[in-house]
Amino acid sequence: MSNEKILICLPDTGLAQLLERTALGPAGYHIVQVTDPATLKAQVHSESPDLIILGENLPAGSEASPAQALEIGSTLLKRDPSLAIIFIPSNHSEELALQALRTGFMDYLHPPVRTGELVQAVRRAIQRRRDLLGWTRREVQRNTRSLAKKLDGLEELQKISHAISASLDLDSVLKAVVDAAVELTGAEEGSLLLLDEASGELYVRAARNFQEDFVRTFRVPVQDTLAGKALNSRKPVILDEKTPQKIMTSYLVHSLIYVPLIVQERAIGVLGVDHRQIGQPFSGTHLTLVAALADHAAIAIENARAFARSELARSKLETILKRIKDAIIILDPDRRLVLINPSAREAFGIGDQEYTGRQLEDIFQNNDLLELLSDAHQTSPYRGEITLEDGRVLNTQATPISEVGLVITMQDITHLKELDRIKSDFVNTVSHDLRSPLTAILGYVELFDRVGPVNAQQKEFIRRVEASVQNITALINDLLDLGRIEAGFDSRKEFVPLPAVIHFIIESLRPRALEKSQRLELELPAQMPLVLGNPVRLKQMLSNLVGNAIKYTPVGGYIHLSAQHQGDQVILRVYDNGPGIPPSDQPYIFDKFYRASNILPETPGTGLGLAIVKSIVENHMGRIWVDSAPERGTTFTIVLPAADHEF
Ligand code: ADP
């Protein structure tokens, strides 16, 4: 018994009733009659009929209108193309029949309609509708199945990619890749082979459904094997049923896929699935899936290798930092601790506590260290000395590194400091003892021409002896000065008007500048605070700096001395446009006897001038630094504390 619903919408309600009673009702169809287009549409919507028998239903008294019926039918078919419509017009014309077919009606009967003919047409239409719906259902099912399969594949891929990002355990990731390859392709076996660079063979790194012994011992050469072919050509190899092959030297397969694993343009292995059974070919979709899985495996291997490399580097670095005798501290750009090694912990006595992320000032109490690192403006490496509580002295180098922060390395130079002290004592004593005989030599040399006539050659020799003795005396005076300043014998200080000191130095050195046709310029503010200091030493400090500028700047050069008052500081700058100081020499030019590598050997000097300047600056609680670049000139900057008094 069929349950199809039929809507009858005919102007002749008598015919409709007759049909229902005699033909369609008894055949088991469920009949609904409607009389006007609006009810018809509403019924179609609510009842979802299988068939409509449509006539030209007219509002009472109006003319028959086939066009209206065609339009209604067309609207209904647009909504449900599987709907069966049998059209019965009031008047037949060939043109109308053609239009009905073009609209998509399933049948066309013209009056007078015989009952038998109509029943036949209804059966045909309903059968056609059933066929259509059946076909659609099957198609939908088929597509759903294939979509579900694809979805399964995608889900599996997603799982694998999640496993890769979540796990650094290469074994489990590769095993998951091979499992997925086997499951998604329905293969019998799967394996992931990697290239052993040393032997040029492929070995099994992960496998599914292979004997364990086989996995452990199995190796194939790259040459003349299918796996090797995929590896060398860097293209997938697919084997189908027609060409069963003995692969891997030991077993027969009927179908197979091998996809190369590519890492940074290099093939490092292959992922393969196969069937030993006949009748199980692989499809293009299988190949796509295995290729996607091979990409995942390659990423996992690359990740694991990169991780192993960085782990190795990290652990090496950690061992070095732990074992090294030098103390090392690394701060981030906000001066928070990133790293401290055991030597640095020991030096500053801060124990084993975790300080990472803490502010520098919260961790260290050493004033030398805090002061040195307070030079936040520095962009290039700088150094200083730090004295620890137990008296040890650390030579400290701070290197600003962009995006890292500040790297501070410290070496214990206590023994060098001690040696330096012993050497200074020795030099002082010797210098002192040398002064008297030198004065005597000079005195007697001056007496030569008083005690008898000397010839021109003897005069020249006497001049040379005098010049040499004066050079030695100058050196000895420098050494003694340095010794005195370092020992702090110049403790007597007074309020010194710097402009007076500066004018004195400029005027006394101007003749030397003029000799070399150099421009010597001065820039002083109207008001300058006094400086609490030793006027002799302050003169010596400026004289050495301006003297150097004149000495090292070539003929016709330019020298500029400026003073500035900033807050509670006085800033002095001595600039020259001379040859500059190579960066590699700059850290050492304030050391005793150090002379930069770019000066001419015949340039007079002892290498003590800047050491004296630095000692004087430090004795006045000031700071000095140099900014210089070869061929771009040199600027020495001195910052001294201003006294409260104004000049
Ligand atoms: P020196 O007696 O050699 O001048 P200093 O201690 O005064 O010794 O200076 C140390 C070194 O610094 C010099 O030998 C020179 O190489 C370099 N130097 C100092 N001042 C200048 C400058 N104005 N221009 C270039 N180099 C300089």
Per-residue pLDDT tens over the stretch 427-443: 888 888 888 899 999 89
With pLDDT > 70 as the criterion, what percentage of the chain qualifies? 94
Give 249's pLDDT tier (boundaries 50, 70, 90): very low
Mutate which of 543, 574, 589 for ligand 1 pocket (most atoms within 8 A of beta carbon)? 589
Cα of 491 from ligand 1 centre, angstroms: 27
**Are the C-beta atoms of 490 and 534 separated by less than 8 Å?**
yes
| Separation between Cα atoms, residue 107 and residue 100, nearest integer Å | 8
Q: Which atom of ligand 1 is nearest to the CA of 606?
A: 2
Query: What is the four-CA torsion angle of 422, 426, 429, 434, rounded to 10 degrees?
Result: -160
Mind spelling out the 3-state secondary structure of 229-285? HHHHHCCCEEECCCCCEEECCCEEECEEEEEEEEECCEEEEEEEEEECCCCCCCCHH
Q: What's the DSSP call for residue 114?
A: P
Q: Which atom of ligand 1 is nearest to the CA of 611?
A: 6
Q: Which atom of ligand 1 is nearest to the CA of 610?
A: 6
Cα of 551 from ligand 1 centre, angstroms: 9
Write down the pLDDT at residue 1: 47
- pLDDT at 229 exceeding the cut of 70: yes
Higher pLDDT, 644 or 271: 271
Give 167's pLDDT tier (boundaries 50, 70, 90): low
**Which H helix or E strand runs over 201?**
strand 201-208
343 C-beta closer than 6 A to ligand 1 = no
560 C-beta closer than 6 A to ligand 1 = no
Cα of 596 from ligand 1 centre, angstroms: 7
Write down the pLDDT at residue 390: 92
606 C-beta closer than 6 A to ligand 1 = yes
Write down the pLDDT at residue 534: 92
Write down the pLDDT at residue 241: 66
| Separation between Cα atoms, residue 464 and residue 485, nearest integer Å | 31
Over the stretch 441-488, which tens digit does the pLDDT of each residue have? 989 998 888 888 889 999 999 999 998 898 888 888 888 888 888 877
In order of 277, 343, 582, the CA distances from 587 in angstroms are 78, 24, 10
Query: How many CA atoms lie less than 13 Å away from 278 in the CB half-sphere?
Result: 3
Over the stretch 88-126, which tens digit does the pLDDT of each residue have? 888 888 898 999 989 999 999 887 888 788 888 888 998
| Separation between Cα atoms, residue 358 and residue 352, nearest integer Å | 14
Helix (H, G, I), strand (E, B) or coil at 572: strand
Write down the pLDDT at residue 507: 95
Higher pLDDT, 4 or 638: 638
Cβ neighbourhood burial of 443 (10 Å; 0-12, 13-18, 19+): exposed
**Cα 44 versus chain centre, distance:** 64
Cα of 529 from ligand 1 centre, angstroms: 29
Each residue of 29-56: b (16+ CB within 10 Å) or e? bebbbbbebeebeebbeeeebbbbbbbb
Write down the pLDDT at residue 258: 93
Mutate which of 610, 627, 635, 637 for ligand 1 pocket (most atoms within 8 A of beta carbon)? 610
Identify the residue whose C-alpha is closest to ligand 1 atom 8: 607
Cα of 548 from ligand 1 centre, angstroms: 6
Write down the pLDDT at residue 230: 92
Cα of 569 from ligand 1 centre, angstroms: 26
Give 645's pLDDT tier (boundaries 50, 70, 90): low
599 C-beta closer than 6 A to ligand 1 = yes
Q: Which atom of ligand 1 is nearest to the CA of 607?
A: 8
Cα of 441 from ligand 1 centre, angstroms: 30
Write down the pLDDT at residue 67: 83
What number of residues does the chain have?
647
Identify the residue whose C-alpha is closest to ligand 1 atom 22: 549
Write down the pLDDT at residue 248: 47
260 C-beta closer than 6 A to ligand 1 = no
578 C-beta closer than 6 A to ligand 1 = yes
607 C-beta closer than 6 A to ligand 1 = yes
Over the stretch 15-55, which tens digit does the pLDDT of each residue have? 778 777 877 888 788 888 888 778 888 888 888 888 999 88
Cα of 275 from ligand 1 centre, angstroms: 83
581 C-beta closer than 6 A to ligand 1 = yes
Write down the pLDDT at residue 474: 84
Cα of 386 from ligand 1 centre, angstroms: 26
Mutate which of 478, 540, 552, 603 for ligand 1 pocket (most atoms within 8 A of beta carbon)? 552
Mutate which of 477, 574, 581 for ligand 1 pocket (most atoms within 8 A of beta carbon)? 581
Cα of 482 from ligand 1 centre, angstroms: 16
State pTM to two decimals.
0.46
DSSP E strands, 1-81: 5-9, 30-33, 51-54
Let me know the angle formed at the C-alpha of 309 by 306 and 314, rounded to the nearest 5 degrees: 120
**Cα 431 versus chain centre, distance:** 60
Q: What is the mean pLDDT of the chain?
A: 87
Cα of 607 from ligand 1 centre, angstroms: 7
Mean pLDDT lowest among 213-227, 335-349, 507-521, 628-642: 213-227
Write down the pLDDT at residue 59: 53
Helix (H, G, I), strand (E, B) or coil at 189: strand
Domains, the chain, in order of start with CATH, read 5-136 (3.40.50.2300), 167-309 (3.30.450.40), 324-412 (3.30.450.20), 416-487 (1.10.287.130), 494-641 (3.30.565.10)
582 C-beta closer than 6 A to ligand 1 = no
Task: At 244, list the tokens.
Answer: 């069963």
**Which H helix or E strand runs over 623?**
strand 623-628
Q: What is the mean pLDDT of residues 376-402?
A: 87
Write down the pLDDT at residue 636: 97
Cα of 589 from ligand 1 centre, angstroms: 7
